[in-house]
Structure 1
Amino acid sequence: MTAPKRLDSHLMAAQSHLQAAHKAGETGLCAYLIALAAYQRGLDVSFETFLGDDREYLGSHPDYNGNYLRISDGKSVHVFDKSRGDLSKRVHTSAADSKTLSKKLFEHGNIKTPRGASFKPGNEAGVSRFLASSSADRFVVKPEQGSLGRGVHVGLTAEDTRSVSTRQKAAFVIEEHISGSEYRVFVVGDRCVAAYERPALQVRGDGISSIEALIDARNRQRALNPRTRSSLIDKLEVAATLSRTGRSLDDIPHAFEPVTLSFVRNISAGGDNRDVTDTLPGLVGKAAVMACNATGLPNCGVDIIHDEAADVAYVLEVNSRPHLGAHSFPSLGAGAGNAVADAILDHYFPRSARNERFPELVIDIAAVKSALASGQFRSLACKRIEKGWIHRRIPLDASESEVDGLLRQLRLVCIHVEKFSYSESRHVINAFFLPRGFAGLVKTAKQNKMPVISREVDAILFGRTKR
């Protein structure tokens, strides 16, 4: 068991958080990111299976997946259902979730939004009248209430719109299609915290690989991302898109030739996203804040299309419980870290914004989810961080069994310890000690000739080697 000669500390920290996020799973990622941000700033965090129906915004259904949180700073207590906290009242979430109501709010607040109308299934005459009254040549059909891009059809001709409308089983909306760059902007209060662009889903040819092979390569990349791991590109849907232009999955694009795979830009439907927080057009950010305020929500995700030719930002919809994972783990380029969850907590617990942070700390979410899934716990609380905790990062080249043995030793003396593996033989242990316990180890090390843990680990714990 030896220490790796080279293992960058920043890389280790990033990999540790990436592995923990993977364990949260795509559906549990929002709650995990908020819990992590709260934990790292010293707030009390507990994962709940049941919050009761006394909260206006939340139903009474139990959850055993770690998506309900109770967070406290010792004075105030707030509960969260994934990314939606209890300051989001039902009246506001209902308005945001209804495409028709939110559109009326936008129009009342002089916020640009695509022209559209809602219809009940079977209202073919109403659909025909709307299409006849429009000067647009492309349309969008989407559910009146829905999320994750399910049931959304974009870029439809009038004839296709009629056809899609006849297949709707619930209330739906038809809008005029707006061309331009599409954004998701996360707003907290009166500021844009983070934003990403949803470019058209494309692959770029290399002159050798087929479109299908290029998609397979992209899907292997997506499988490594905590947000997109279960939102892979659907080759059957791509084949249908390609057929409209006379292409197939077997085609081999020229080197550097871009091939559009889908016109649906939602990440959950296999779409891409790229962080643009620092380059977001001011007009788009302003429209996002106005849309959030119009709904009365304290924080939300706002979907916007920027028509660059006309320099107009059109608000498509507001999401009262948006997914945070795409901001932290975009499919293209670097992300915003955990800035969104931090901003939410700044809003709910403003005094905690000045708290000392413990960025090295990671929640063992796999253990939390396993315990909750057993049905034997009503809640599981994280040990609250206290000032003076001593952190040691222990990188090791060793077998799994050796590292697990060391882990069992450290659990006897640590307040918090966890393992992250980067290969079969390369691992990192994060160990946190209470000051009194660490002082006892130092005393033992001075008195004994034998190592307290092992010579390699002792050297790291007691500072006899730089890490």
Structure 2
Amino acid sequence: MSTAEATVRRPVFVEILERLAAQRGARIETEPLYGYAGAVIDAVGRRHFFKGTHFDINRAGAAALARDKDYAGRFLAAAGLATPRGVLLHGPRRTVQLSLKNPLVAARLPDRAAAHAFAEEVGYPLFAKPNEGSEGDGVTRVGDAAGLDLALDALLALHDRVLVQQAVAGEDLRVVVLDGRVKAAFARRPLSVTGDGASPLSALIAARLAEFASDGKGARIAADDPRILSELAASGFTPDSIAEKGATIALLANANLSTGGSASDITDTLNPAAADAAIRAAAALGLRFAGVDLLAAPGAPPVVLEVNAAPGLAYFHRMGPQAAARVEAIYADLLDALLAS
């Protein structure tokens, strides 16, 4: 084994599963280089495959449906759940490809003009994001027509389909559901810095991102990421601004943990309406195991943002002993469900 291979640490969930599997007379086999993909093998040799946090517990069709944000939103709305209003845009490359097969359909695909028409109808701010993706990749909040064009330029250069959605207020929640039961819930907050009354925001941002590297998490976003600059501008700041001492300045509109967000465990105090919405959302997409992202505001039904068919729990596992125990209990239940299937 090379030095590079020897220093690669396997995912936390694999280490947890190996310990839990041994207690159940099963074992875990992974590909040797990164340990990222493999199988749970039970006592009689049956194999239950996984790649990353994608497990055999969810059927392929259901997982693919959840991955498509626009289609998933339509199924969620049909099930009576609140979802953000939005419009799906198709990039030039996709439109050209489809026009060769079905020009009539290609001619009807919504494009950039549809995004501006939608903005005029519902108003700003809006969110623009890849229609397929996870971990907050590419999610951008825009506050005006110029910002919308900038976001679409960046997104359509990389993605064939982009979803533009109306912004919804509320506390950002991630609820983990397994077989119709809530297993954990976390309130999430976006990446932010706290002003000290002296340092420019650029210095505070650099220091905050450096903390990730020192913790072994890696910098999941660059200090000059356009989304940070856009969010600062929306709040009336620039990288050179000096925030008041004690002021919390959000750097991103989304609260994904993979882009530096933070979280707190609210499993024991989760609002019943949010729990019900999460359970119904997983069921609406045919998922046994899911991470449901909600926005919850007082006096309003929870809004389902997205449903993840392969929720990652590594960040929550690092939050402390109580959260770690909760995550390991989830994986124990998940493993039992896999072995019983």
1:44 maps to which residue? 26
8 A contact 1:88–1:298 mirrored in 2: yes
SS of 2:127's equivalent? strand
Whichever structure has more helix as a proportion of its residues is 2
Is residue 339 of structure 1 aligned with residue 308 of structure 2? no
State the Cα distance separating 1:106 from its structure 2 match: 0.3
2:264 to 269, 274, 283: 274
The aligned counterpart of 2:74 is: 104
Tell me the distance in 1 between the aligned counterparts of 2:215 and 2:20: 20
Aligned to 2:222: 234
Counterpart of 1:29 in structure 2: which amino acid?
V
How far apart, CA to CA, are the structure 1 residues paired with 2:214 and 2:317? 14
Tell me if 1:85 matches 2:52: no
Separation in 2, partners of 1:138, 1:101: 23
**In the aligned structure 2, how far is the partner of 1:298 from the partner of 1:81?**
17
- 1:177 partner amino acid: A
Change in Cα spacing, 1:143 to 1:312, as seen in structure 2 (3 Å) is same
- CA–CA distance in structure 2, aligned partners of residues 239 and 350 of structure 1: 44
Is 2:48–2:338's contact at 8 Å kept on the other side of the alignment? no
Measure the CA separation in 2 of the matches of 1:192 and 1:319.
Answer: 14
Match of 2:132, SS state, is coil
Q: Name the structure 2 match of 1:284.
A: 274
Rounded Cα–Cα distance in structure 1 between residues aligned with 2:196 and 2:146? 37
Structure 2 residue identity aligned to 1:74:
A
**Structure 2: how far apart are the matches of 1:342 and 1:187?**
13
Q: Given the alignment, which residue of 301, 320, 331 partners 2:309?
A: 320
Question: What TM-score comes out, normalization by structure 1 length?
Answer: 0.59
Q: CA deviation at 1:111?
A: 1.1
Which residue pairs with 2:119 in the alignment? 131
1:302 matched to which residue of 2? 292
Q: In the aligned structure 1, how far is the partner of 2:126 from the partner of 2:229? A: 21
Aligned to 1:171: 161
Separation of aligned partners in 2, 1:130 and 1:316: 18
The percentage of aligned residue pairs carrying the same residue is 25
What's the CA shift for 1:103? 1.0
Unaligned regions of 5+ residues in structure 2, if any?
1-6, 93-110
Structure 1 unaligned segments of length 5 or more: list them: 1-21, 50-62, 354-467
- Give the CA deviation at 1:129: 3.3
Pair 348,239 (structure 1): closer, same or farther in 2 beyond 3 Å: closer
Report the CA distance between 1:148 and its aligned residue.
Answer: 1.8
Change (3 A) 1:30 1:117: farther
Larger radius of gyration between Structure 1 and Structure 2: 1
2-side partners of 1:178 and 1:267: how far apart?
Answer: 19
Other structure's SS at 1:106 match: helix
Letter of the aligned partner of 1:85 in structure 2? F
- Relative to the length of structure 2, the TM-score reads 0.79
Instruction: Tell whether the 8 Å contact from 1:139 to 1:158 is kept in structure 2 after alignment.
Output: no
Secondary structure class of the residue paired with 1:197: strand
What is the identity, as a one-letter code, of the residue corresponding to 1:236? D
> Which residue number in structure 2 is paired with residue 182 of structure 1?
172
- Of 201-210 and 116-125, more deviation after overlay is shown by 201-210
Aligned twin of 1:64: 33
Question: Are the counterparts in 2 of residues 207 and 255 from structure 1 also a CA contact under 8 Å?
Answer: yes
- 1:149 lines up with 2:136 in the alignment: yes
* Matched ranges for 1:415-430 at <5 A: none
Contact 2:191 2:250 in 1 (8 A): yes
Aligned AA for 1:307?
A
Q: Aligned partners of 2:167 and 2:145: how far apart in 1?
A: 11
C-alpha separation in 1, matches of 2:79 and 2:231: 37
Residue 264 of structure 1 is matched in structure 2 by 254
* 2:16 equivalent to 1:33: yes
Supply the distance in 2 between the matched residues of 1:128 and 1:255 (Cα, whole angstroms). 38
